[in-house]
Chain A
Amino acid sequence: MMVQFFMRISLKQILLLFLCLVSIPYQITAANTDEKSVLNLKSDIVQHYADIMEAQYSDSVTAALRLRDVIETFLKNPTANGLTAARNEWITSRQSYSQSEVGRFYDGPIEPLEEYINAWPIDLNYIDYTVGMPDSGIINQTNLYPQLTQNLLLGANQRQGENESEQEAERAVSTGFHAIEFLLWGQDLYADTPGRRAYTDYVKTANGPGRNAGRRREYLQLLTQLLADQLQAVADQWAANNPTNYCARFLSAPPDAALEKIITGAGNLSSSELAGERMLVPYTTKSQENEQCCFSDSTHLDLLRNEMGIQDVWLGSYTRTDGAILTGPGLITLLEQADPKLAAILQQQLETTIAAIRSIPAPFDQAILGNDSTPGRLAVKKALDALQAQNTSIVHAAAVLHLRLNLKN
């Protein structure tokens, strides 16, 4: 039977097979040259990504230090203007950080510290007074917490475990951007404005919130210093030319392994985080405290900066706080070689998403309210749709580039 099978093979087929076999060595040579240039490009992309990460985190540190100093000035002489300046600086300082979040969701150096830097939502009653509860919070519970220290705020009193899983078990609820936000703005109980904490919370008085003004000042100082320190720790891990830091390990891994981290960060920020937790959850639940910057009403800026971070990584271009621009190859450069059409589509989608997020009317907590035909909800929906299209392309791109990408949902 097998013999019959071979008898039936035509001469033409045999010739074809022969030609194929003969040409294999040539194909291998050609493939080698090609592979080498692709490999070089991949290394360049990985290197440039590390440069962007270093720049983003070092910008975040610079911004956090400036925030610390502006708050310091305000605390020395609390005035309404001083509080406004501190609030403005907080919003500014958050921009670099939000843009850097594209470096999350793999085993990067931000992961173990993220819950201290960006813990959200936070437990207001653990920190300070809230409406109807004038004595709540670490600030006012002077008997329970006689001494304010960084360790107390990190929850270290309850977290003695050496290993990571135990640290994660007791979530920090009292540090980071949003704790500072709460101490600058107070609860946002208003539709038309953000929180309305008065600067007098920081002026010593016999009664009222001011009776613990000193503690509140101390708390705020500890928080701003801690934020800067922790961001510095992340920046150090991305610093170039340090053979023992994360960056060195990142660069010495096979380029595909690093590329998978890069696309995992960009993909998960784009899907489960930005489109999911930060937009879809508040859009669906119509609930203010499910938005990220709920005291300052600046959530719309976070969303924008997250998307800008995603674009940075794809296009290989990051504009630093001081205006300097880092340009180099990004994931899109690789995609252009493999599938130029998809690359063009994705590039367009990144633009469309940015425009859609920009057109969400601030504040975000009001934009999500009402029925589905309100301008706010329509705009949020449009941005969600744009993100979904973008995410579909990112998944396609990963497949085209043979990179494993597992989006969380």
Chain B
Amino acid sequence: MIGALLKTFLLIIFIIVSGWLIRADESATNSELAGGGTTAFDATRNAFSLSARNLTLEHHTPYTIGSFFFNESWLAATLTPSDRDGLGPLFISRSCFACHTRNGRGQPPDSFVPTETVVVRLSVPGRGPDGGPKPEPTYGLQLQTHALPGFKPEAKILGAYQLIRGTYDDGEAYYLRRPTFLLSDLGYGPMQTNAVISPLVAPAIIGLGLLEAVPEESLKMIAAQDQKRADGISGQLNIVWDAAAKQLAVGRFGWKAEQPNVRQQCAAAFNGDMGLTTTLYPQENYTAAENICTNSPSGGQPEVSDEILAATVLFAKLIAVPARRDRTNEVVLRGEKLFRQLNCAACHVPELETGNMAGFPELSHQLIHPYTDLLLHDMGPGLSDRRQIFQASGSQWRTPPLWGIGLVSTVNNHNYFLHDGRATGLSEAILWHGGEAENSQEQFRRLKKNDREALLRFLQSL
């Protein structure tokens, strides 16, 4: 009798313990490791500011140096040689950090406040010398909103928003902000009337190295699968100019996947955003038409040395991705299911595997959860910026990664989303989805309130 009781008792203990063990095992699966071995467990304002947690000892020094040159301001050149001068004469900001604050997202201008954390790309119809957009004859490919003393900034940008009312299927109203961007104070005469302007907010820069390490074949395979499914979703690679290799390459970075790798992205940003030259882009960022007489000193040839560029690129590649939070929360799990049901995961691909990246064991062979396919998708006329960039039409955008999206408000104190920051929250961002994503958006609109909230809770957990 006692023996039987004891056995029952032990059986109960066994069940409890094994149940607990199985649960523990489940939560140890690595889907909270959004960035594979780089993943950092930090949900504070520093969430995007940490190095890959698997950073090798050997990379510690270049990472630290890159971080310094990313965070600190570049200086106007003096006549005394310096390795951190050469800013301008035209620029948008003095440091990378200024726009990618704490490595996070920028925000859009409004009617009164021109912001520093957007760039305004511009072009005229036709193709540029590298096959990309054709520069506006006077102002080039990007507007510089600041200038050194004695020089005129190219323009100011302001945003005006028109509120569009919409309703969810359950009758709840929502408002979307349709932006109009206005240029004022043009510094160098009129702009060509057919010029197209496209304001883009600075994206968060976490996990860039991991995205670069995803094999090209994987992206091509996703594009091929899209074709096979024939469900209206059709991802396309952007084929862009690789300035170092002087050949065409697959684009991965930028809102339109117009940059082939982190190095070119960094060098282009040094040049376009801060007026700093590199061996990759040795020309200053003003046009001949601007007739800028550079009797002000140069910061050297190039202004950003190859060593500093390399360190900055290494830094940008090795920023940790924050771990997912509340992953096993029931509402979050329901939201995740809805995310798949609504076919969001067709473009925001939850899981990718990186290949081998020579010299970067931190980034090689990592199972990652970026929620992107790095491909271009037609997002409909509502989101179009009417600006062709290589293969990408005005309405095509690269699926932006969603990792870390739930931490933007913590890191950057705002909730502006989409390429120009028009969405003031994640539900608005979803509601702007058109084109290939129209169907998913429509399904979201039809969800019951608690299901919509579950989906948003899931996004907040990323």
The residues of A with any CB-CB pair to B shorter than 8 Å are 2-3, 6, 9, 14, 17, 105-107, 119-126, 130-133, 136, 141, 144, 158, 160-161, 163-166, 168-171, 173, 187, 189, 272, 276-277, 280-281, 284-285, 287, 289-290, 404, 406-409
With CB as the reference atom, state the residue of chain B lying closest to A140.
Answer: B149
**Quick one: given A166-B107, A170-B98, are A409 and B60 in contact (CB under 8 Å)?**
yes
Q: Which residues of B contact A14 (CB under 8 A)?
A: 6, 10
B451 within 8 A of A: no
A interface footprint on B72-101 (CB within 8 Å = 1, 0 otherwise): 110111111011100100000111011101
Complex CA–CA separation, A14 to B61 (angstroms): 56
Complex CA–CA separation, A122 to B87 (angstroms): 12
**Quick one: given A161-B113, A285-B83, are A107 and B45 in contact (CB under 8 Å)?**
yes
Contact present for A124 and B75 (CB under 8 Å):
yes
Q: Is the interface of B mostly helix, strand, loop or mixed?
A: loop
What interface size band does chain B fall in?
A: 35 or more
B207 to chain A, nearest CB (A): 16
B41 within 8 A of A: yes
A-B contact pairs, 5 of them (CB 8 A): A14-B6, A105-B46, A169-B101, A173-B94, A277-B67
Cβ < 8 Å to A, chain B residues 26-71: 40-42, 44-46, 49-51, 55, 60-61, 63-65, 67-68
B42, B72, B99, B149, most chain A CB atoms within 10 A: B149
B116 within 8 A of A: yes
Complex CA–CA separation, A87 to B189 (angstroms): 48
With CB as the reference atom, state the residue of chain B lying closest to A280.
Answer: B64
Candidates A119, A166, A290, A408; contact of B67 at CB < 8 Å = A408
Contact present for B11 and A2 (CB under 8 Å):
yes
Contact present for B40 and A406 (CB under 8 Å):
yes
Q: Which residues of B contact A122 (CB under 8 A)?
A: 75
Complex CA–CA separation, A14 to B68 (angstroms): 61
Sample of 15 further A-B pairs with CB below 8 A, known A9-B10, A406-B40: A2-B11, A107-B45, A120-B72, A122-B75, A124-B76, A131-B79, A132-B297, A141-B149, A163-B413, A165-B414, A272-B67, A277-B67, A280-B65, A290-B84, A408-B49
B115 within 8 A of A: yes
Contact present for B117 and A281 (CB under 8 Å):
no
**Quick one: given A171-B94, A284-B61, are A409 and B413 in contact (CB under 8 Å)?**
no
Contact present for A121 and B75 (CB under 8 Å):
yes
Q: Which residues of A contact B45 (CB under 8 A)?
A: 107
Complex CA–CA separation, A169 to B72 (angstroms): 12
Candidates A17, A131, A173, A276; contact of B78 at CB < 8 Å = A131
Q: Which residues of A contact B76 (CB under 8 A)?
A: 123-126
Contact present for B79 and A168 (CB under 8 Å):
no
Q: Which residues of B contact A141 (CB under 8 A)?
A: 149
Contact present for B46 and A124 (CB under 8 Å):
no
**Quick one: given A276-B64, A289-B82, A289-B83, are A171 and B95 in contact (CB under 8 Å)?**
yes
Candidates B55, B83, B101, B107; contact of A409 at CB < 8 Å = B55
B7 within 8 A of A: yes
With CB as the reference atom, state the residue of chain B lying closest to A189.
Answer: B80
A183 to chain B, nearest CB (A): 16
